[in-house]
């Protein structure tokens, strides 16, 4: 932060994962100094009153995904999230649980790790070691984590889709390239980035709506 402030940029976009813990005091001081001299701070997710922020309705998107998965016949799910207190993960887990349970489903296991693909591999490997019944749905709180889970399922000799279904969140480009293609929630990532940019340069900026869309692909074929 200190190095960036010394370069005197017009805007600063913070795209880091946030927690519900108080912001580090050194970071807060640097941000305050940056803003005091006219710099515009923009964050993803809910921000402070002093800073602009681009919000993604993670909870609503995940809730819609949960409802859709329940409508496909899934009743038992394993959720893979980040550490408790990481806001993006918590919002998505809470939303998915609400949507899935409203359709008659149950989250039987919640496994926590981080945002890396390897975390998805490790979490799914642990679940498989304990036993995963055919017809179980796995929700990865991000596509990257979900793709890691898919790798572990494949390595265990299980089939993705008709045996163990998998869904994620974000719709990163690789989610449609993996086999089978990954069911997910599409976040308009280019629009998110564009709005963050506009927030740094437009004096009268106001956030436009960011519609999220459930995309059902072959990783969740449904239970007949």
Q: Which 3-state string (H, E, C) describes the chain?
A: CHHHHHCCCCEEEECCCCECCCCCHHHHHHHHHHHHCCCEEEEECCCCCCCEEECCCHHHHHHHHHHHHHHCCCCEEEEEEECCCEHHHHHHHHHHHHHHHHCCCEEEEEEEECCCHHHHHHHHHHHHHHCCCCCCEEEECCHHHHHHHHHHHHHCCCCECCCEEEECCECCHHHHCCCCCCEEEECCHHHHHHHHHHHHHCCCCCCCCCCCEEECCCCCCCCC
Quote the CA–CA distance of 79 and 94 in Å, as a whole number.
10
On the CB side of 173, CA atoms within 13 Å amount to 1
Q: Domains in the chain, start-ordered, CATH in brackets?
A: 2-56+188-211 (no CATH), 58-186 (3.40.50.2300)
Q: Give the other-Cβ count within 10 Å of 37's Cβ.
A: 8
Instruction: Specify the pTM.
Output: 0.88
pLDDT value, residue 192:
92
Percent of the chain past pLDDT 90, that is, above it, reads: 71
Quote the CA–CA distance of 71 and 99 in Å, as a whole number.
10
How confident is the model over 15-27, as a mean pLDDT? 65
Say yes or no to pLDDT of 17 above 80.
Answer: no
Model confidence at 21, pLDDT cuts 50, 70, 90, reads low
Say yes or no to pLDDT of 47 above 60.
Answer: no
Say yes or no to pLDDT of 23 above 70.
Answer: no
Quote the CA–CA distance of 81 and 210 in Å, as a whole number.
23
Closest by CA position to 35, among listed 8, 53, 54, 3: 8
CB 124 within 8 A of CB 155: no
Model confidence at 91, pLDDT cuts 50, 70, 90, reads very high
Closest by CA position to 64, among listed 103, 90, 107: 103
How far is the CA of 82 from the CAs of 17, 88, 214, in angstroms?
10, 9, 21
CB 216 within 8 A of CB 185: no
How confident is the model over 36-50, as a mean pLDDT? 75
How confident is the model over 129-143, as a mean pLDDT? 97
């Amino acid at each position: 932060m200190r190095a960036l402030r010394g370069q005197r940029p017009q805007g600063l976009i913070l795209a880091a994962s946030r927690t519900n813990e108080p912001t580090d005091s050194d970071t807060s001081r640097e941000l305050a100094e940056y803003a005091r001299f006219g710099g515009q701070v923009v964050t993803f997710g809910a921000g402070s009153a002093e800073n602009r922020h681009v919000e993604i309705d993670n909870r609503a998107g995940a809730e819609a995904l949960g409802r859709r998965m329940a409508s496909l016949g899934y009743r038992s799910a394993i959720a893979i999230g980040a550490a408790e207190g990481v806001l993006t993960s918590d919002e998505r887990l809470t939303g998915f649980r609400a949507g899935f349970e409203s359709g008659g489903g149950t989250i039987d296991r919640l496994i926590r790790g981080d945002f890396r693909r390897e975390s998805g591999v490790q979490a799914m490997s642990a679940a498989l070691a304990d036993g995963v019944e055919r017809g179980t749905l796995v929700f990865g709180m991000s596509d990257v984590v979900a793709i890691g889970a898919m790798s572990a399922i494949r390595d265990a000799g299980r089939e993705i889709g008709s045996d163990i279904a998998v869904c994620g969140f974000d719709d990163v480009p690789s989610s449609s390239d993996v086999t089978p293609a990954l069911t997910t929630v599409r976040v308009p990532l280019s629009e998110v980035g564009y709005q963050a940019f506009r927030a740094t340069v437009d004096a009268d900026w106001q956030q436009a709506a960011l519609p999220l869309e459930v995309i059902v692909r072959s990783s969740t074929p449904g239970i007949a």
